[in-house]
């Protein structure tokens, strides 16, 4: 069975290999899933480097999330042909996986495969961050950096659907029209001029932001703090800039800003089945209504993994890069 594996931690381009794993038998309560699509997320690259929140036992197949189809079932509720996503770590960069049925969530078969492949992580992260940290009434303002990322675009679309307003800081302001078409209220550069534009927007609206979502760290995270109302919360969920957050004392003493973190892996481990089902039902409904979409750059068969990794750094990259493991080269 074709699979991508790592035998040591390091940069994906150095340590990822094409391999052939044995086909395990399907035991009681298990199903065999043919994997249709699995994205390359920043977390996958950290997992491969060994710098993520969990470190796998090696050798291991990466792939945080994936969508597939049940092709053999020993678990009554999941019949052959059911489309599923993995709620546990998917190890999705392989063609087939044998997995316990209770690690899967059945999803509608008529929604686009790439959207389903990317449903577990980014949309749920955006949804939970908009629900779990601040009481946000319609009209409340949320500020975020890396707003053109997969999570950032989900935040824009979900916030828009919930009647919230978003200030979106990006490194590429040329994306403003595209993000506004998704529902962004303000798009500005992630720099001092962008912060001034955001402050002017808030002054005009007569409000301050109630929640800040930080995927970058360093100066970018700091810029958000001037936009927040007293007692507001900044949630850090990513560290794309690889710079720590150094907080001037005034934000704690005079403004009572609260600093929290979010990790979907932790949320999935401690949430009740009803909370998990409720979150994904809401997201599936947005997908069905065409109100939640992460753009796709390209889909690659597993043996073309080097091309897929190169696309990650391409200047003309248009969205997420996914593996389509069930596709023959």
Ligand X SMILES: NC(=O)c1ccc[n+]([C@@H]2O[C@H](COP(=O)([O-])OP(=O)(O)OC[C@H]3O[C@@H](n4cnc5c(N)ncnc54)[C@H](OP(=O)(O)O)[C@@H]3O)[C@@H](O)[C@H]2O)c1
Task: Name the residues annotated as catalytic.
Answer: 52
Task: Report if residue 166 touches ligand X, rule: CB under 6 A.
Answer: no
Q: Decide: 36 and 326 in contact? Cβ < 8 Å.
A: yes
Among 151, 169, 283, 296, binds ligand X (CB under 6 A): 151
Task: Report if residue 127 touches ligand X, rule: CB under 6 A.
Answer: no
Among 14, 112, 263, 275, binds ligand X (CB under 6 A): 263
Task: Report if residue 125 touches ligand X, rule: CB under 6 A.
Answer: yes
Number of residues in contact with ligand X, rule: CB under 6 A?
Answer: 23
Task: Report if residue 255 touches ligand X, rule: CB under 6 A.
Answer: no
What's the min distance (Å) between Cβ of 144 and ligand X? 10
Among 105, 106, 240, 276, binds ligand X (CB under 6 A): 240
Q: Which of residues 27-56 bind ligand X (CB under 6 A)?
A: 41-43
Task: Report if residue 144 touches ligand X, rule: CB under 6 A.
Answer: no
Task: Report if residue 264 touches ligand X, rule: CB under 6 A.
Answer: yes
Among 127, 201, 237, 323, binds ligand X (CB under 6 A): 237
Q: Which residues bind ligand X (CB under 6 A)?
A: 41-43, 121-122, 125, 146, 148-152, 171-172, 215-216, 237-238, 240-241, 262-264
């Amino acid at each position: 069975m074709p699979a991508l594996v790592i035998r040591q931690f390091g940069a994906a381009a150095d340590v990822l290999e094409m391999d052939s794993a044995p086909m395990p038998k399907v035991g009681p309560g298990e199903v065999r899933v043919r994997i249709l699509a699995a994205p390359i997320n920043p977390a996958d690259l950290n997992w491969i480097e060994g710098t993520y929140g969990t470190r796998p036992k090696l050798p291991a197949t990466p792939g945080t999330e994936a969508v597939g189809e049940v092709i053999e079932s020993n678990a009554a509720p999941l019949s052959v042909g059911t489309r599923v996503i993995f709620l546990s770590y998917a190890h999705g960069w392989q063609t087939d996986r044998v997995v316990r049925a209770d690690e899967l969530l059945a999803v509608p078969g008529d929604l686009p495969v790439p959207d389903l492949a990317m449903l577990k992580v980014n949309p749920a992260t955006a949804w939970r961050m908009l629900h779990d940290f601040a009481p946000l009434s319609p009209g409340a303002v949320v500020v975020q950096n890396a707003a053109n990322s997969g999570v950032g675009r989900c935040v824009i679309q979900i916030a828009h659907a919930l009647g919230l307003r978003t200030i979106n800081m990006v490194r590429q302001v040329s994306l403003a029209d595209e993000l506004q078409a998704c529902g962004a209220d303000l798009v500005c550069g992630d720099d001092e001029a962008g912060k001034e534009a955001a402050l002017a927007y808030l002054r005009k609206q007569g409000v301050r932001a109630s929640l800040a979502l930080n995927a970058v760290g360093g100066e970018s995270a700091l810029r958000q703090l001037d936009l927040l109302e007293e007692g507001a919360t900044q949630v850090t969920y990513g560290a794309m800039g690889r710079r720590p957050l150094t907080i001037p004392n005034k934000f704690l003493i005079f403004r009572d800003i609260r600093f929290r973190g979010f990790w979907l892996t932790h949320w999935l481990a401690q949430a009740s089945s009803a909370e998990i089902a409720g979150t994904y039902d809401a997201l599936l409904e947005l997908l069905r209504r065409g109100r939640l979409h992460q753009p796709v750059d390209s889909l690659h068969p597993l043996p073309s993994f080097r091309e897929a990794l190169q696309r990650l750094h391409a200047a003309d990259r248009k969205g997420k890069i996914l593996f389509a493991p069930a596709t023959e080269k």
